[in-house]
Amino acid sequence: MANDDLRPSIGVLAEHFPGERRVALVPADVRRLGKSATITVERGAGAEAGFPDEAYIEAGATIAHRPSIVSSAGVVVGVRAPSDLASFHPGAVVVSLGGRDAGVARAVFARELKHLALERLPRTTRAQAMDVLSSQATIAGYAAVIEGARALDVLLPMLTTAAGVVKPARMIAVGAGVAGLQAIATARRLGAVAHGFDVREAAREQVESLGARFVSPGEALKAREAANGYAADQSADEQAALRRALAPTLAHMQLIVASAQIPGRPAPLLIDDETLAGLAPGTVIVDLAAESGGNTSRTEPGETVTIGGVKIVASVNLPSQMPADASRLFSGNIRALLEHLIPDETGLQLRPDDPIIAGLLGVDQTLRAAA
């Protein structure tokens, strides 16, 4: 092992964003990273997720207050982009979400920091183990079905009792990405009759592999898959036609999990007022795209609203409702990234020819202009 004085220093910050209960690194991963780096954890950083300071100390970390961490650590990790970037020492490497926030971009440029924004991770096989968006979408898809089940006035599974038979609820995931597929899998485990909708024909096999029925938009409305794995952009007319084609299917569903999102852009409108008017009273929509505008015309981020007897549940940051496992998965992604950045005792390596590093450091032109 290299001398501690020569090893990179990693600081783990506590989260101060309202409602954020996750932590970027858990003790198990701190122990693994401790072979190649010295790690300091902000006091109480893991408490909300069930990881006390004592567990970090046992894993080999030092506990300190925030000012000493941000003023000295070479690499600072967090879940959300820190709001106090102006206090960081110039040249520090910040690993967190926040790559599409213009305010974060301004602070990064002003302080000459290097921000490895996790949203910008290339979607390549090599980078899969570092993909926090996918790991957290898995948690969100599970949590969405649990939220929906609480709000429904019917049961998800079929029950046969002496008092009569309860039919299974009909559920659909609108958007068969990571979150949608996890929602389908969870709903199936709970006994619902599950469906999956996506404009990408490539999603059919994934939906059907989970035992759900794939709902196709029809040949004229299918969209190709872009290089980043998301559906390619559609025109306003195509989106309107898609809403009309989807409406009859949604009218027969009791639980709708909407998860269609476009990185760096407002979420597409998939359920408008006309579609809402055709849904049966008691239908529940869980809108996972609430933070980026929502997939429905009546989504209110952080709120549950009722329109004509239809509930629209727009919880934000669902992974934080299950902070222990959400943190473990997030931490596993961060550990994989840090092991890539610190491959051996030679220290931190930010090679510009590395496509992973180049992607994480890349700044969207809109944010560059805003900064």
Third-level CATH fold of 4-130+327-370: Rossmann fold (3.40.50)
Tokens of 220: 């004229």
Cβ atoms of 276 and 307 closer than 8 Å: yes
Tokens of 22: 């996750």
Residue 220 is predicted with a pLDDT of 54
Note if 182 is an active site residue: no
Tens-binned pLDDT, residue by residue, of the chain (371 aa): 444 457 899 999 999 999 999 999 999 999 999 989 999 999 999 999 999 999 999 999 999 999 999 999 999 999 999 999 999 999 999 999 999 889 999 999 999 999 999 999 998 999 999 999 999 999 999 999 999 999 999 999 999 999 999 999 999 999 999 999 999 999 999 999 999 999 888 899 999 999 999 998 776 566 655 554 555 567 788 889 899 999 999 999 999 999 998 877 889 999 999 999 999 999 999 999 999 999 999 999 999 999 999 999 999 999 999 999 999 999 999 999 999 999 876 778 888 889 999 999 985 434 444 55
**DSSP classification of residue 178:** H
- Alpha-carbon gap, residue 209 to 191, rounded angstroms: 16
DSSP string over 21-70:
---S--HHHHHHHTTTSEEEEETTTTGGGT--HHHHHHTTPEEE-HHHHH
> From 3.40.50.720, 3.10.180.10, 3.40.1390.20, 2.60.120.10, which CATH number describes the 134-321 domain?
3.40.50.720
Cβ atoms of 173 and 142 closer than 8 Å: no
- For residue 73, the SS3 value is coil
DSSP string over 112-170:
T-EEEEGGG---SGGGGGG-HHHHHHHHHHHHHHHHHHHH-SS-SS-EEETTEEEPPPE
Residue 352 is predicted with a pLDDT of 83
Candidate list 66, 230, 272, 325, residue with the active-site label? 230
- Alpha-carbon gap, residue 225 to 208, rounded angstroms: 18
CB neighbours (10 Å) of residue 208? Answer: 12
Tokens of 337: 């990234």
Note if 56 is an active site residue: no
- Alpha-carbon gap, residue 97 to 24, rounded angstroms: 10
Candidate list 9, 36, 96, 134, residue with the active-site label? 134
The structure tokens 């898609």 sit at 242
Helix segments in the chain, DSSP class H? 27-33, 53-58, 66-70, 102-111, 132-151, 178-189, 203-209, 236-250, 273-277, 323-341, 355-361, 365-370
- Alpha-carbon gap, residue 172 to 194, rounded angstroms: 6
Note if 71 is an active site residue: no
Candidate list 131, 198, 292, 327, residue with the active-site label? 131
Burial of 225 (0-12, 13-18, 19+ CB in 10 A): middle
Candidate list 111, 123, 204, 213, residue with the active-site label? 123
The Cα-based distances of 125 to 114, 129, 228, 229 in angstroms read: 24, 8, 12, 12
Compute φ and ψ for 214, nearest 5 degrees: -85, 130
Note if 134 is an active site residue: yes
- Alpha-carbon gap, residue 194 to 196, rounded angstroms: 7
Cβ atoms of 199 and 154 closer than 8 Å: no
- Alpha-carbon gap, residue 116 to 153, rounded angstroms: 44
Note if 321 is an active site residue: no
Candidate list 128, 244, 273, 349, residue with the active-site label? 128
Q: Where in the chain is the domain with CATH 3.40.50.720?
A: 4-130+327-370, 134-321
Tokens of 60: 């080999």
What is the gyration radius of the CA atoms in the chain, in angstroms?
A: 22
Compute φ and ψ for 334, nearest 5 degrees: -65, -40
Residue 160 is predicted with a pLDDT of 94
